[in-house]
Amino acid sequence: MTLKEELKEKKSAIVQKWIDAALASYHKDAQGALRQTKAQFTNPAGFNLAQGLDGLFDALLEGVITDSVATFLDMTVRLRAVQDFAPSEALAFLIRIKQIVRDELGRERLDAPGVRTDLAAFDAAADDLMLYAFDLYMQCREKIYDIKAQEARSQTYRLLQKAQSIADKE
């Protein structure tokens, strides 16, 4: 069995652990609610996280991280970008996947022939994912500042319009 097949088989357990790793940064007593991942609309936080990580794991298995992960990454990062985490803390859960996969495989398998190379590819994909996430995180933060500036502008638009017309008249 290739590493990919094996990980595919263990997907649900791995993704669950990955969700746990992401939730670990929340208050312990809020996790119960966030862990409910089925309610797309009444509990979007848990739902999006689970769906996002599920999709990201598939992408990692393929070993290629492209723009196609954007949707899934968005589901996991956008909320965290406005929650009160340090940037490192907001994104740390993404690289935890490396450890989670290793734990799930067990020491013996890790030493098996071929696995090490396959795992290196997996790791490389995970690193790429982290880089994408970093970009997205920064986009989100910039968006927040942009929105603040926009808001100030739209609140004063009519004033500016007025000032402009006074200037025109003069």
Partner 1 sequence: MKAIVSFVAVLLLVAIGYMGGSAGSTSRFLFGVVAPYSAFAIFVVFMIVRILKWASSPVPFRIPTTAGQQKTLPWIKDSKIENPSSVFGVVIRMALEVLVFRSLFRNLKTQLHEGGRLAYGEAKWLWMAGLAFHYSFAIILFRHLRFFLEKVPYPIQLVESLDSFLQIGAPLLYLTDVALLGAVTYLFIRRVALPQVKYISLIADYFPLFLIFAIGATGVLMRYFTKTDIVGVKTLAMGLISFNPAVPETIGAMFYTHVFLLSVLFAYFPFSKLVHMGGVFMSPTRNMANTSREKRHINPWNYPVHVHTYEEYENDFRDKMKEAGLPVEKE
Partner 2 sequence: MSKLPKPAELAKVSYNNPATDWMDTPVEFKPGMYCHGSKPKSLEIVGFPNPRDWRPADADWKLPENWKEILIEGIADRLKKYRSFRLFMDICVRCGACADKCHFFIGTGDPKNMPVLRAELIRSVYRKEFTTAGKILGRMAGARDLTLDVLKEWWYYFYQCTECRRCSVFCPYGIDQAEITIIGRELLNLLGLNIEWIAGPVSNCYMKGNHLGLEPHTIVGNLEYMLDDIETVTGKRIKPSFNRKGAEILFVTPSGDLFADPGTYTCMGYLMLFEELGLDYTWSTYASEGGNFGFFTSNEMGKRLNSKIYAEAKRLGVKWILGGECGHMWRVLSQYMDTWNGPADFLEVPKSPITGTVFENAKSMKMVHIAEFTADLIKNNKLKLDPKRNDHLTVTWHDSCNVSRGMGMLEEPRYVLRNVVNNFVEMPEDTIREKTFCCGSGTGLNASEDMELRMKGGFPRANAAKFVHEHYGVNMLANVCAIDRATLKPLMDYWVPGVNVCGLHELVANAMIMKGEKERTTDLRGEPLPNVQAKEEKA
Task: Look at residue 76 and give the partner it binds from partner 1, partner 2, none, a contact being a CB closer than 5 to 8 Å depending on partner kind.
Answer: none
CB of 42 to partner 1, least distance (A): 6
Binding residues among 85-104 for partner 2 as defined by CB under 8 A: 85-86, 88-89, 92-93, 96, 99
Query: What φ, ψ does residue 57 adopt, rounded to 5°?
Result: -65, -40
Report the residue number, 35 or 98, with the smaller CB distance to partner 1: 35
Residues in the chain: 170
Report the residue number, 31 or 139, with the smaller CB distance to partner 1: 31
Residue 33 CA: distances (Å) to CA of 30, 38, 118: 6, 11, 36
Tell me which residues touch partner 1 (CB under 8 A).
28-33, 35-36, 38-42
By the rule CB under 8 A, 142 interacts with partner 2:
no
Site string for partner 2, 42-61 (x = CB under 8 A): xxxx--x-------------
Of 118, 89, 87, 13, residue with least CA distance to 57: 13
By the rule CB under 8 A, 68 interacts with partner 2:
no
Residue 38 CA: distances (Å) to CA of 9, 50, 91, 99, 157: 22, 9, 23, 26, 43
